[in-house]
Chains A and B, each alone.
Chain A
């Protein structure tokens, strides 16, 4: 910056340092990821399986204490193409962020899609979680590196329209 140039912008970072307690429900979910399991929860038989579990069923506020393992495969129900960089995300731009209805779950699960040309990303596409190598598994969402296509036939829209 030359001394004669006017100052046209200033950097004003905002930073909050939290000491975050995951709580019982998310702790169980994160411990599951460490074992390559995706654990949801429901408030009882016949009730929706929520992933990740938040401790209660948001519709009824009932305790969702029954742990239910869901699959690491699912169906894309919505997606978004990300073109704006973010310091904490290392995926090469542009990439697709997907909302996956995991098999056995009743709500979508957000993650990143890789190994798929962006023009082929679509609602109904079947995907599978790509786990990090075993040595790197941790009680963290980073245990799933990304999702990628399975190559299975698409799920017809009619079957998933409630979730899109």
Chain B
């Protein structure tokens, strides 16, 4: 078969249109995003978990003490995306960052819109840019912007 002259080639798309049921805790978190507020949940050790978890990550106990956090926060770490892919938040270079919202003890992953990589640093202050028309999801926060100094 090595003499087969032309090997066929073509696009192949694998796509799953998943719809995830949120459960009570993430339901409240995403409903909050739609209403432009962040809420975390307090773990058994006192830390405020954002995004919130339904069960304590250490003990497995149910959690229900809600704590308002943010809306600003700081970059814990980040990764520059120089060649964004189709479904990513921007069609120009941007950063994915772990962002610790004010009052939270765990970081949230989101996009940061920055002019270039050199504008970013661990500890940099960021604020959310809310979507004009919320659709019910993490994209209700368009991204985070570096806080103007």
Contacts and interface: CB of A to CB of B under 8 A. Distances in A.
A34 to B, nearest CB: 10
A10 B136 contact: yes
Contacts of B30: 7, 10
A83 interface: no
Contact of A26 (B2, B8, B13): B8
Interface string A126-142: 00000000000001000
B149 interface: no
B31 A27 contact: no
Interface string B15-26: 111111110000
A24 interface: yes
Contact of B19 (A11, A15, A41): A11
Secondary structure class of chain A's binding surface, majority of residues: mixed
B1 interface: yes
Given A6-B27, A24-B1, A27-B4, A87 B17 contact: yes
A78 interface: no
Contacts of A18: 11-14
A24 to B, nearest CB: 4
Contacts of B110: none
Q: How large is the interface on A (under 10, 10 to 19, 20 to 34, 35 or more residues)?
A: 20 to 34
Interface string A1-32: 10100111111111111111111111110110
Contacts of B21: 8-9
Q: Which of the four size classes fits the interface of chain B? A: 20 to 34
Contact of B1 (A17, A20, A55): A55
B18 A11 contact: yes
Given A13-B15, A16-B13, A18-B11, A7 B34 contact: yes
A16 B85 CA distance: 11
B129 interface: no
Contacts of A71: none
A19 B12 CA distance: 6
A97 to B, nearest CB: 19
B27 A27 contact: no
A65 interface: yes
A91 to B, nearest CB: 19
Interface of B: 1-2, 4, 6-22, 27-28, 30-31, 34-35, 86-87, 136-138
Given A7-B30, A65-B2, A139-B8, 13 more contacts: A3-B35, A9-B19, A11-B17, A13-B87, A16-B13, A17-B86, A19-B12, A22-B7, A23-B7, A24-B4, A24-B7, A25-B1, A26-B8
Counting from the closest, the 4 A-B pairs by CB-CB distance are A20-B12, A18-B12, A22-B8, A7-B136
Interface of A: 1, 3, 6-28, 30-31, 41, 55, 63, 65, 67, 87, 139
